[in-house]
Structure 1
Amino acid sequence: MTGRSDHRDDLLHRHRAVLPGWLALYYDRPLELTHGEGRHVWDADGRRYLDFFGGILTTMTAHALPEVTKAVSEQAGRILHTSTLYLNRPMVELAERIAALSGIPDARVFFTTSGTEANDAALLLATAYRGSHQVLALRNSYHGRSFSTVGITGNRAWSPTTLSPLQTLYVHGGVRTRGPYAGLDDAAFVRACVADLEDLLGQTGGRVAALIAEPVQGVGGFTAPPDGLLAAFREVLDRHGILWISDEVQTGWGRTGDHFWGWQAHAGNGPPDVLTFAKGIGNGMSVGGVVARAEVMNCLDANSISTFGGSPVTMAAAHANLTHLLEHDLQGNARRVGGLLLERVRAACAGLSVVREVRGRGLMIGIELVRPGTDEPSPEAASLVLEAAREGGLLLGKGGSHLGSVLRVAPPLSLTVAEAEEGAAVLEEALHAAQTELEGSGNP
């Protein structure tokens, strides 16, 4: 074991010597994951973990899914790369499926390599279409790490610069249980957020390009508004001709259980004008994209291509992954097993003063942690739980607006009931251990 530990320490030293200092690593002793299968991964020491984070919600169906690995291997044996300058059958076939699934009429699909790039492209489309650089975003939001998407990210922990090519205006609505409207019931909350939006637009003259919103805020800690809020926003936006961009990078493909897309919980008068996706569709391959009605997608009056977006290999992987997801009703499994897991987590957290709130839907669950006996967000508590869960053989994520005070639970959508029970038991022990340590350290 000492030799393996020395090997890991050497890799960590090399990592720090050549990679950016701001490239975060989980755990006091960072893990090197070497392989995976199903809902499990193994580290370089040979230890197995139940994966409740899936590479940041990216391993959507399962690790080493045979259909995906076969599709990648077969396509790689034919041709790896062509670019969008040539006809690409796998890209066309996947675009046809996604356009039909999107709910957007007369849809066009543009493929990218990441969610950041997808949101960047959506912003380009919206600002060009509307002739405006003003963008509405929700407080506590996260939309990517590029210069433009950092400029619309309403989460200070993920905004390294205040400079931006956009004028961003932030509205209420992303966080239900904190802020000035937290004490209102759902209907009053929606009315207050809509009034805030209308007041803001009154000050801009309505010349805003788009509202971009995550139906469930991912990096923000799996927070969500009451169902219907974005539909109520849409009524206001339509009066001004403002586009609605639904950022489905984390909520798409059935993860929320009740719906295939997060926007469907806010359906109201129809789908968004623009939808962005990434992460889970590639099951680990670099696939992202934008769906928009043709009028919006075709508004650019200059040349544009994508060198790596729509790669034959990544398209083959996504096509196989989507087929598996639909044929095995993994959205239904997310609803059923996710509902059980949410109940089990809520029961595990009952009576713990380190837990402020358990929230979520489907297999997208957030646990907000605070200093015991207070309402003060506690990144320390989240780190303690992450470490204890890892020792128990469970990998979790974290997020939230306060430098990581929310545990994020998002396993592959094929999670079994037995695995949900196993993970919840480890999580319960880790939460109790963290509370005990915080109280014992005089951090009440």
Structure 2
Amino acid sequence: MAYRLTVLGTGYLGATHAACMAELGFEVLGLDVDAAKVASLQAGNLPIHEPGLEDILRRNLANGRLRFTSSYEEAADFGDVHFVCVGTPQKKGEYAADVSYLDAVIESLAPHLRRDCLVVGKSTVPVGTAQRLSDKLARLAPVGEAAELAWNPEFLREGFAVKDTLHPDRIVLGVHSEKPEKIMREVYASMLEHGTPLVITDYPTAELVKVAANAFLATKISFINAMAEVCEAAHADVKQLSLALSYDERIGGRFLNPGLGFGGGCLPKDIRAFMARAGELGADQALTFLREVDAINMRRRARMVDLARELSGGSFRGCTMAVLGAAFKPNSDDIRDSPALDVAVKIAEQGGKVTVYDPVAQENARRAHPELNYGASALEAARGAHVVLLLTEWQEFVDLDPEELGSVVASRKIVDGRNALDAETWRAAGWHYRALGRP
């Protein structure tokens, strides 16, 4: 059977999933309650920066496999499989996740479900959410328990979302019966044929996979950054330490890059929500280590400000600072919980004149922080700067010519917040080079 798919919520996850499932040959209807976003997507314009995605979006709009709506009734009539892709942000003033958008989707969709269908949750949620939503779906849908729920967590990396959707490293599916498994095996048939591992499990395990993965990655990042703190105290080089550790097959080198730490819309809020949910389940002691993971991560930002202040002679007042990078990571325009912007704002609050440049996230940063100055290029941002801070490891910053940059600054001082530059090359060009965790 050729299933027709809907994707409910067209943010980062939803827009990517809708376009990529259409690319796989499905008829797809994307839904969002934001009429302006629907109109923009229907016109072929992405609200996010994601390499390769806009071409896929426009190609599938043109061939008729993809379109967008704001009508839940239309979505219910159209779809056989409904993917729920709304966000679960951190609650204000709490660690816990806000799942109200998920409830709103189920409450809006369910009353229109009058035939057998499958609702598939892809959002990152506190364990126990799927069972609660399954009960609510059966209760509110006219078709009752024939509207089944499956949980299929996403594992997208910003900057690689197209690849991660079309060629995932694994598919996890939480189900309560054989029918959802059969349907999802057909939906993901092309991936399974190429050998993508499939894990069939229950709701709670499927929900835990994503948060457990993010907790592990956050722990690995904070581990090497904790080692950077020790290296600074011991006058050792964390970059060399990381290299030596990476050759141990039990450890590996991925996510073992010392620097400014993690940010974005996933890792920080997911580990906090994981801790909050473990507390509700009476298992809070199992995750107390994540508090230190979070604390190490936030200390990196404070240490970066300290390093910049040291190079500024002990005070930012009267100093011009160039900040290269605003996105939380390269190949993205996402500035949510961006370490780079956090550092820039703190320096400005302490009296520094800060000019920011980012090749993609510039306008998002300007809207969020109009109090900062912005340059049209790395060279323009660095013009007259007393200290340059590299805070997002965009390739164009890694490729900067130290002589060319040196010709526009007031003094050749640089803090490499991502350990992305070759220290000896920059020192040979007369730069005072500093980095987190290095002599």
Question: TM-score by structure 2 length?
Answer: 0.33
Greater relative contact order (Cα < 8 A, sep 6+):
1
Q: Whose helix proportion is higher, 1 or 2?
A: 2
Give the structure with higher Rg (CA). 2
